[in-house]
Structures are given as C-alpha cells and as structure tokens.
Amino acid sequence: MKVQVPKKALADALHNVERIIPTRSSNPGLNLLRIDLLGDALRFSGTNLDIDIESTVRADVRGDGSLALPAQVFGQVVRALPGDVVDIDVAESELLVSAGDFATRLQLVDPDSAPTVRFPDAYTGTLPARAFARALGSVRYAAAVAEYQAIFRGVKLELSDAGSRAVATDGFRLAYYDLDALSGLDAELIVPARSVDEMIKLAHDGDVELAVAEGQVSIRTDDVRLNVKLMEGTFPDYRRVIPSSFPVTITLDAGTLREAVARVAVMADKTANNRVDLFIKDGTLQITAEGAYGRSQEAIPVQQEGTDAEIALAYNAKYLTDALAPLEATLRVSFSGPTSPSVLADPDDPSYLAMVVPLRTG
Amino acid sequence: MKVQVPKKALADALHNVERIIPTRSSNPGLNLLRIDLLGDALRFSGTNLDIDIESTVRADVRGDGSLALPAQVFGQVVRALPGDVVDIDVAESELLVSAGDFATRLQLVDPDSAPTVRFPDAYTGTLPARAFARALGSVRYAAAVAEYQAIFRGVKLELSDAGSRAVATDGFRLAYYDLDALSGLDAELIVPARSVDEMIKLAHDGDVELAVAEGQVSIRTDDVRLNVKLMEGTFPDYRRVIPSSFPVTITLDAGTLREAVARVAVMADKTANNRVDLFIKDGTLQITAEGAYGRSQEAIPVQQEGTDAEIALAYNAKYLTDALAPLEATLRVSFSGPTSPSVLADPDDPSYLAMVVPLRTG
C-alpha cells in the first residue's frame, strides 16, 4: 500500500477519534485505532463503549485492507510532522510515516484485536449543525455532575413535529433551548452530558443527520459518524416547575448583569454556596456579597415592572453566571417570589430559557 | 485618607507582591499585605521569608499611615473592578474600594501584625535590566530540581571587573551566559532558582540596581525592591568539566535541530531517559529514537569539521531541547567524545554556552 494525505486534514481526522479512544484501558484492544483503506480515503475508527466514532479523511490511497495501532502515539507523531504532506506505507508489520527528511516506523498490531464499530444504514432525521451545537451548548451547564443524580446527568432532546428542544436540569436550575428547525424525527432521547460535549465539537458545518435506535442515537456529518449510548430512565416533568406568575420583572442588558455578578461575587463566601444577594426596588437592582474578607456591592438601574413591589433574594453566584452565559442582548429576569424559581430569557428571542432556584436564606 | 489611582497600575503593582506573599501560611501574618501611604504613592510590601518585596504605584494620596489586609483578596477585587480609576478610602477598620457603581468593603487588620521588610540604603551595582533577565533566563533550566542536590538548585552570579556571568548546572548539563556589561560589584552569589524566576519577571526596563550584603542580594528597579536570601555552600568548579578538545564539530541552524529533536523524540522511551541517538558522518546528522511504539528518524545536512571522523552518541532529548532553547541563529555543536560532554554555542555570539553530558549507552 501507499498513501499520501495532507497533514492538516489527517491531524484533524485523528484528533476527532483520539478524544474518544482511551489512552489506557483494562479492556484489551480498546486503546487501539482501526484504519481502513478505502479507494480515496482513510477511515479511522474506535470506541470507548459509550461512544463509537468513525472519522474519514480524503487521501490518495493505493492498496486496501485494515490496520490497527495505539491511537495516541499515531496522533502525536502526525502533529509533530514537518511540512504539509504525509506519506504512509506498510512494511513488515510496521507503519512507515514520513514527511520531508523525517521518518517514523510505528509498530502495527493485528487489526482483529481492535474493536469493530457499526453504524446505521439510514439516517432519517436532519438538523442544521450549528444550531444543533448551539442548542446543546446552551443547556449543557445545567446537567448534574454527581453520580447519584442519575438521569439528571443527561441532556434531553425532544424531537417531534411540534419542535426540537434540548433541555437539562439538576433540580436547582434548568435550561432549555428551542431550535428553529424540525428534525423529521419523533423521539425523546437522554444523552449523557459527556457525550453531548463530543456532539457539540463535531457539529460545525452543514447538516447533522440523525438516526435513533433502541438505546442509541447516531449522528453523521460530512466526515464523521458517531453512535452515542443513551441513558435509561424517566426525565422529570420539568414544565411543571417553571413558574408562570411573576410579581416583579426587570429588564436590563445581559452583559451588564453578568459582569456585575462576577465582580461582586469575588467577595462571596465559597463555603456558603457562593451566595450573592439581589434586592430590587424603585428601578434599581442592588447586588451584594459578603464573606470572610469583607463586602461588595453594586447598583444597576433596571426597567422594572411591578414597580410598587420590591423583592429580596439570594442565589449561588455560579448558577446566575452559568444561566447568563448564553444571553447576549436584552435580558428579562422574572421573579416568582423570594424562595420560588426565577426565570431568565431574552424577550426578543425566546429560544433560550433559564430557570434558577434562589438559595434558602432563612 | 483618600486615594485615587489608575486601575492598571494598581493591578500591576499588586500582582508583583501577590506572587510572593503566600495565600496561606502557618506563620501568622505572613499572608498579609502591608500598604504604606506616601505623599504621592502607595507602597505595597510583604515577604515569604525567602524573598522580601516592595512595589510602589504612583497615586493621588491624601493622608498617611499604614494598613494591612490579606494580599490575595485585595488583588482579586482590584482585577475585577470596572473602569479605569479606583477610589480607595478607609472607614471603621474597613478598606473601601470603589469604581463606577461598584463598591467593596474589605476588612483591615492591625498593620503591626503584618511583617515589616527593610531594604538596603545604598545600591552600589548596576546592570541593564533586559540583559540581566536574559542571562538568568538562559541558564535557569540547567539548575537542579531535586532537594538533595543542594547547591545545584541555585544559579550562580559571578560579578567582577572581568565580567558578569550567570551559570547553572545539575551535574548532567551546564549553561552559562556572559552579560556584555560590568556591574561595578565584586561578588559570587548563589541565588535559589525559584527566586531567580522572580528576578527575571521584575527586570524588564531600564537598569537593575544591586546591593550585596551578608547572605542576601537586593535588587531595585524603578518601582520594585527585592531582597533575596542567598544559598550557602560552595559551587563546584564547573570550568574544569568543560572540555576543550573536540574531534568532531558540526555547524547548522539552531531552529532546524530543535524542531528535528522535538519530532524524533515523540517516539523516545520516557522510561529510559527519553533517549535520542545522534550519528554524525560525512556531513549528515542522523537523529533516531526508539520506544515501545516504534522508531523515528530524521537526517539533517550539516557543515562538519573533522570530516574523516564519525561519532555516535545518545542524549536525554529534554536536555538537548532545553540547551537549544536560548539559541536562535547559527549553532555549533562540539563533540569531545561519545561519553564525554558536548558543547553547544553560537559561533557568532559566544555569550551563551551549554554543555550536555551524553547518556551512557553501554
């Protein structure tokens, strides 16, 4: 065989699979990268048992067959290569990688010892890649981290002919994002947050095609295919907990609030939920924090509805900052009460909604 | 009191002292920053017992006296401030820091509980700041890391009317740098490598003034003063180990060798001294490395003196890479033998010299 391939495209394709394939594994062979030689491309594949991946790079290929070697070392070698073009050859169970005056011989292993991954034949759903990544990226922070939180550690995808929504919650906060596109599918999928991170990284151009099967969702882009194992269980009925009546509502610039919270929170007590206090009265939002070293405060003029009312409440500063991150323009914060959830959204673009439960301060 | 000060200058001055003052310390008060109010400046000071520091920022100051508070929290608050100008005031044992609509109150402590640092009255030596930092920065890598290596963990400064040299060695490699300037001092100082790092960071513009006292060197720049505790002990006579007879010498571009070593070393066995092999013959330098995953090689044409000779030897790749880092233009590598030290230097600029001992390969 002989292969010639542009270095950057090769490095990119390898980078996609390297992130998935474990460096070390007690499961023999799981650290291996499988390389299939196609007529005009190299196809790399591997798995970590939660995610199967296949990444293809166009190349000038003479010969066919399959090879396998540890994924990580091949990626390292390729990134260190000089020049723009890489030549690859095989001799006596070694992979010869050369570029310019540089040459490496990498020990190959039996391709039968590498895992084989299989992808669906048909992808019946489609979503625009950027919007898909944005929806997942906007809500992913609200997924739970702790092991015991089970199903809360996933992001739910609600796909139907009524819409396409990504939603996540850990019980203390919630975020959803409605895509302005229909997928053509009718399914409710709960994707582990760590697999969501990979889906976000791979969805950047054109369309993402989707296929749903028992316990698995698959996505396909121009050069990558991914199988993701779904979480089992019932996602809570989150709609029930989003309040609908708000005695006080304020409107202000999202960036102004984000920066003010970050500044004031420097003094917040990290051992007491990183607490910041908000007090709204007469069109002014006062933010304060107090900790072992002293006290910070900042006042922001806001447009207030329910002007005869005032409200005082406290949040975990990190929850506020996370909820504000996807918001860029005008922000409306709607307060249902001092101990019941507050809702953050852009009044001009309702696709993203965040809900944060205040801290109990009693 | 009332103080008004530009935010960036304040943040920079605090940053200098924050790096030194420990965040936590079993020694009470050591985590405190002392602030002295001068007529037209704020002076910050603190110590970690190895290094005393004082950093001054020009400010509009009304009032006088001294204050103290934990260094880290003040720095954090200042960095998070909005706007360009900071107002500082004191009320009831609190420091009031405000900028725009933002205000923080920081708890002050008794300034008598903060350490007091004293600096020399006279600085009798001078060196150009950039060259001083460059000399230290070029040799610092060769200082030893391990505790038991005692005096090898320092950088030696040789100051006399014959020259100004910084030198470091860990027994396996050595580097020296001769400054093109005389200090006006006559002293041999061994500075702990971690203190050298601070000296490098603070010496950037104009001149560095120097003062030497029993067990201590002090430096002064426009806005910073530093006392550094010296190491005690005798630095080895390193001149004795630098070879002077070289059967083979090669000349090539320093960057070309640096990149080739980095590429080939990807395959080097990290558990076997990160070994790379060099073989020089007939005007070609061949670099190879071999590890668990395979083998890399690269050939570089070089200008060779001693053309009837050939030489094969091995190095720790990291030692070669470190030695090459300060070299930018033409490089001469002089080989005294396969098991005796090699010398690297720029033939057109002899200020920097690196020596590396080959690995025993027998």
Q: Report the distance separating Cα A294 and Cα B201, nearest Å.
A: 31
pLDDT grade for B147, boundaries at 50, 70 and 90: confident
pLDDT attached to residue B27: 85
Whole-model pTM over 0.95: no
Q: Report the distance separating Cα B209 and Cα A54, nearest Å.
A: 61
pLDDT grade for A353, boundaries at 50, 70 and 90: very high
What's the mean per-residue pLDDT of chain B? Answer: 95
Average pLDDT over residues B143-159: 92
Residues contacting B137, CB < 8 A, separation 6+: B200, B326
Residue A304 has pLDDT above 90, yes or no: yes
pLDDT attached to residue B26: 82
Average pLDDT over residues A280-305: 94
- What one-character DSSP code corresponds to residue B180? S
Tokens of A250: 């304020």
Residue B157 has pLDDT above 90, yes or no: yes
Q: B308 versus B115: which is more confidently predicted?
A: B115
| CA-based nearest residue in chain B for residue A73 | B293
pLDDT attached to residue A362: 65
Average pLDDT over residues B129-148: 95
The per-residue pLDDT for range B310-358, each reduced to its tens digit, is 999 999 999 999 999 999 999 999 999 999 999 999 999 999 999 999 9
pLDDT attached to residue A308: 82
Residue B178: what residue type? D
Average pLDDT over residues A16-27: 91
Separation in Å, CA A151 to CA A137, A190, A234, A319: 18, 8, 7, 20
| CA-based nearest residue in chain A for residue B295 | A105
Contact assignment for A101 to B298 by CB distance below 8 Å: yes
**What is the number of CB-based contacts under 8 A between chain A and chain B?**
89
Contact assignment for A264 to B299 by CB distance below 8 Å: no
Q: Which residues in chain B have their CB less than 8 angstroms from residue A263's CB?
A: 80-82, 102
Residue B222 has pLDDT above 90, yes or no: yes
Smallest Cα distance from A136 to chain B, Å = 30
Q: Report the distance separating Cα A174 and Cα A78, nearest Å.
A: 42
Q: Which residues in chain B have their CB less than 8 angstroms from residue A267's CB?
A: 73, 77, 104
pLDDT attached to residue B149: 84
Residue B188: what residue type? E
Q: Report the distance separating Cα A350 and Cα A336, nearest Å.
A: 18
Q: Which residues in chain A have their CB less than 8 angstroms from residue B70's CB?
A: 293
C-alpha angle A231/A236/A237, rounded to 5°?
135
The per-residue pLDDT for range B232-251, each reduced to its tens digit, is 999 999 999 999 999 999 99
Q: A1 versus B47: which is more confidently predicted?
A: B47
Q: How many other C-beta atoms are found inside a 10 Å radius of the C-beta of residue B337?
A: 15
Q: Which residues in chain A have their CB less than 8 angstroms from residue B264's CB?
A: 102
Helices (H) and strands (E) in chain A, counts: 6, 26
Q: Report the distance separating Cα B226 and Cα B208, nearest Å.
A: 11
Q: What secondary structure does DSSP assign to B10-51, as a single string? A: HHHHHHHHHHHS-SS-SSTTTTEEEEEE-SSEEEEEEE-SSE
Residue B140 has pLDDT above 90, yes or no: yes
Smallest Cα distance from B114 to chain A, Å = 16
Q: Report the distance separating Cα A187 and Cα A211, nearest Å.
A: 10
pLDDT attached to residue A71: 92
pLDDT attached to residue A119: 97
Q: Are A14 and A94 in contact (CB under 8 A)?
A: no
Residue (of B328, B318, B251, B320) closest to B283 by Cα position: B251
| CA-based nearest residue in chain B for residue A295 | B105
Phi and psi (nearest 5°) for A29? 90, -15
The per-residue pLDDT for range B185-219, each reduced to its tens digit, is 999 999 999 999 999 999 999 999 999 999 999 99
Closest in B80, B94, B107 to A266, CB measured? B80
Residue A44 has pLDDT above 70, yes or no: yes
Residues contacting B251, CB < 8 A, separation 6+: B302, B303, B305, B330, B331, B332, B333, B347
Helices (H) and strands (E) in chain B, counts: 6, 26
Q: Report the distance separating Cα B212 and Cα B127, nearest Å.
A: 14
Separation in Å, CA B194 to CA A81, B130, B133: 35, 19, 14
Interface check for A101 against chain B (CB to CB < 8 A): the answer is: yes
Contact assignment for A298 to B103 by CB distance below 8 Å: yes
The helix or strand, by DSSP H or E, that contains position A38, with its residue range, turns out to be: none
Residue B52 has pLDDT above 80, yes or no: yes
Q: Are A210 and A136 in contact (CB under 8 A)?
A: no
Tokens of A114: 């590498």
3-state secondary structure of A348: coil
Q: How many other C-beta atoms are found inside a 10 Å radius of the C-beta of residue B151?
A: 16
Interface test with B, best of A67, A104, A259 (most B CBs within 10 A): A104
Q: A151 versus B147: which is more confidently predicted?
A: A151
Smallest Cα distance from A78 to chain B, Å = 9
pLDDT attached to residue B362: 65
Q: Report the distance separating Cα A74 and Cα A90, nearest Å.
A: 14
Phi and psi (nearest 5°) for B238? -70, -25
Interface test with B, best of A31, A72, A102 (most B CBs within 10 A): A102
Q: A27 versus A107: which is more confidently predicted?
A: A107
Interface check for B264 against chain A (CB to CB < 8 A): the answer is: yes
Give the A window 308-347 contacts with B, CB below 8 Å: none
Separation in Å, CA A155 to CA A45, A178, A242, B100, B360: 25, 13, 17, 40, 56
Interface check for A267 against chain B (CB to CB < 8 A): the answer is: yes
Average pLDDT over residues A318-344: 97
Closest in A107, A266, A300 to B293, CB measured? A107
pLDDT attached to residue B293: 87
Tokens of A288: 């304060």
ipTM of this complex: 0.78
The helix or strand, by DSSP H or E, that contains position B289, with its residue range, turns out to be: strand B284-291
Average pLDDT over residues B126-141: 98
Q: Please give the order of strands across the beta sheet that includes A207-213.
A: A65-70, A32-37, A41-47, A51-58, A224-229, A216-220, A207-213, A125-128
The per-residue pLDDT for range A227-248, each reduced to its tens digit, is 999 999 999 999 999 999 999 9
Tokens of A160: 């139907």
pLDDT grade for A87, boundaries at 50, 70 and 90: very high
Closest in B69, B81, B107 to A263, CB measured? B81
Interface check for B69 against chain A (CB to CB < 8 A): the answer is: yes
Average pLDDT over residues B12-30: 91
Interface test with A, best of B101, B109, B284 (most A CBs within 10 A): B101
Separation in Å, CA A52 to CA A153, A227, B287: 20, 5, 38
